[in-house]
Structure 1
Amino acid sequence: MPGNSRNASKRTISKKGAVKGSGGKNRDSLKGRGKTLPADERPWHKGYSGTEKLPDKTARKQENERRKAAGEGRPPKIGQPGSKDTTWGRGGGRGTGRPAAQRGGQFRTGPRVAPGRRSNPTKEGPELLLGRNPVVEALRAAVPATALYVAQGLDIDDRVNEIVRTAGDRGIPILEIGRHELDRMTGGVLHQGIGLQVPPFAYENYDDLLAAALEQTAPLLVALDGVTDPRNVGAVIRSVAAFGGHGVFMTERRAAGITATAWRTSAGAAARVPVSQVVNLTRALKQAQSAGFTVIGLDADGETDLYQLEAAVGPLLVVVGSEGRGMSRLVGETCDLRVSIPMASDVESLNASVAAAVTLAEVARRRVHG
């Protein structure tokens, strides 16, 4: 039997009748919108002269940002404004958290950081410090912060307890969010369930950094020449702190500064080591030489062996070149000595931060044992 219906001969006739001519059922959709209104009668047009206007996009955007910053909406992404604080760092200004509501209590206004001289604040927006140790170090150093993000279901240890307690004492808003949301905010970077949002870093004034170093018995500084990897910057700062250095400085342009990545790599040492930016590195090196520093540049082809460096016991400034090309020509010509690190013949060179660590360790050893 053809077909699947038991009533193949039965036909269904539409009650609406047949579709007639061009247009048919959808003929209304073929009608135009009518005449175009003059510009002064269209609320969305800049030439509108009436009093009733559509909501302003800028106003809506500002309101959304306000709601996010106040915790009324979803947690803000990295860089979302959340405080009047704009800079931080050893050379940075004041930092307090904003009073904000929290489950189980109310925040208090935090104490001010000891006032310092603001110098060369970065132009980037706020960043997120990730990991328990970096966040603990930042809070211990009273780094201004705008929010603390804590992942739900976080394993609690002594560091987490200290982080939450310190943030509460300083009035820093604590936002508990899902781990997946924190993953989204951090771009998948390892965060250990903790993130501290901080305003841009404020660098120490170079003149102040130089003067403070000269007050030490054996001043030791490190200059970074074109180092663009923030992980190397953080690692160098950590080595400077470990081996008794008194400061680090780099150029403002074409070099990595103190970012969240650099801070994390430094394991919080950036809160203890003065860091400065200069416009002209060669000029800064000459200024240090005039103040009594011996300037040495790390160079695989250097004529001075690191283990024969007699200048290590006096005021010393170590220049570390970029990851690829090393020191620039002018910087190399400005150095008093070019120093090489003895290595096995089948190894061409060391990573910038590793070379700095080896050099600083040898300088520290010679200063202790001669």
Structure 2
Amino acid sequence: MTSTEKDRENFLPGMKPVLELLEREPERVDMVYVRRGRAGAESSRLLDLCRERGVRFSLVGDDALSRMAAHAGHQGVIARLREASFMPWEDFLAQAANAPLPLMVALDQVQDPGNVGTLARTLFAMGGAGLILPRHNSAFLGPGARRSAAGALERLPITQVVNLSRAVKEARDAGFVTCAAQKVDDSMNPLTEKLPLPALLVLGNEDKGVRPGVLKHCECSLCIPFRRDFDSLNVAQAGAILISCFARSLEI
């Protein structure tokens, strides 16, 4: 099976099946694509359900729908399904301190599924408490993420939150030291300093970094020192180093 064919397994075409899924299990829907200009009572009901259930939707051209649906009849509507199951935030936070490595990793608008999958694989292997993803503007946890995770996405606790800034604050209030990966004057050197645990580590988008609204709830900053003049590491590489540094702190 090709990568394109695997991706198509995550699409549900057709007005009636998408409506039924939004009514019964909206948490399984990542995005709904609707033909631009489609009118009628069913279309209005579908868009109303998306708004009521907090499901993202996008108005697209018929050519885009045809590519997603291949030869299946889509009737102007296709839902993209989630593959990973999400733990409720309250349950996730309650169990995080009991992980072998009491470290939660929050991904602030990380878009690349491969990076998310690789981070899940690293965090699971090191005994981490799990991943926190914002509900909007996060990578789709479909085939690309699953291939990179090599089975970790099905075993690692993952939660999805509407407001990442609020979640970081709630973790801090619950006794977790909140840290952001960023370079500032008072950044800690994770290679030489013992890192605090239990902790929450925020990794940001490669272009924009961690957003200011999230940073305001972070108590410390971590920056990996480079030995050569080099631009940057991608989020999966930097995250793997920082997760390892937290794991090392258990042994010090």
TM-score, scaled relative to structure 2? 0.68
Contact (CA 8 Å) 1:233, 1:257: kept in 2 or not? no
SS at match of 2:169: helix
State the Cα RMSD in Å.
3.1
Deviations 1:74-120 (A, max 9, x none): xxx53257x99969xxxxxxxxxxxxxxxxxxxxxxxxxxxxxx894
Contact (CA 8 Å) 2:82, 2:140: kept in 1 or not? no
CA distance in 2 between partners of 1:273 and 1:344 (Å):
33
Counterpart for residue 56 of structure 2: none
1:200 aligns with 2:112: no
Supply the AA of the counterpart residue of 2:223: S
Which consecutive residues of structure 2, in runs of 5 or more, have no partner in the other structure? 1-7, 33-66, 71-79
CA distance in 1 between partners of 2:187 and 2:217 (Å):
15
**Which of 141, 144, 147 lines up with 1:264 in the alignment?**
147
SS at match of 1:253: coil
Contact (CA 8 Å) 1:300, 1:349: kept in 2 or not? no
Judging changes above 3 Å, is the alpha-carbon distance between structure 1 residues 86 and 232 closer, same or farther for their aligned structure 2 residues?
Answer: farther
Supply the AA of the counterpart residue of 2:227: A
Q: How does 1:307-322 map to 2 (within 5 A)?
A: 307-312=191-196, 314-322=197-205
1:250 aligns with 2:157: no
Counterpart for residue 98 of structure 2: 215
Supply the AA of the counterpart residue of 2:82: P
Identical counterparts, % of pairs: 32
Contact (CA 8 Å) 1:204, 1:277: kept in 2 or not? yes
Q: How does 1:226-305 map to 2 (within 5 A)?
A: 226-301=109-184, 303-305=187-189
Contact (CA 8 Å) 2:101, 2:128: kept in 1 or not? no
CA distance in 2 between partners of 1:363 and 1:119 (Å):
36
Judging changes above 3 Å, is the alpha-carbon distance between structure 1 residues 209 and 124 closer, same or farther for their aligned structure 2 residues?
Answer: same
Counterpart for residue 58 of structure 2: none
Supply the AA of the counterpart residue of 1:324: D
- Displacement over 4 Å in runs of 4+: 83-87, 184-187
Judging changes above 3 Å, is the alpha-carbon distance between structure 1 residues 357 and 119 closer, same or farther for their aligned structure 2 residues?
Answer: farther
Supply the AA of the counterpart residue of 2:108: D
CA distance in 1 between partners of 2:237 and 2:21 (Å):
33
Counterpart for residue 306 of structure 1: 190
Whose strand proportion is higher, 1 or 2? 2
CA distance in 2 between partners of 1:367 and 1:204 (Å):
26
Contact (CA 8 Å) 1:119, 1:205: kept in 2 or not? no
SS at match of 1:304: coil
Judge which range, 258-267 or 290-299, deviates more. 258-267
Number of residue pairs aligned between Structure 1 and Structure 2: 195
Judging changes above 3 Å, is the alpha-carbon distance between structure 1 residues 119 and 344 closer, same or farther for their aligned structure 2 residues?
Answer: farther
Counterpart for residue 122 of structure 1: 29
The Cα of 1:218 is off from its aligned counterpart by 4.8
CA distance in 1 between partners of 2:100 and 2:152 (Å):
21
SS at match of 1:353: helix
Whose helix proportion is higher, 1 or 2? 2
Supply the AA of the counterpart residue of 1:231: G
Supply the AA of the counterpart residue of 1:307: L
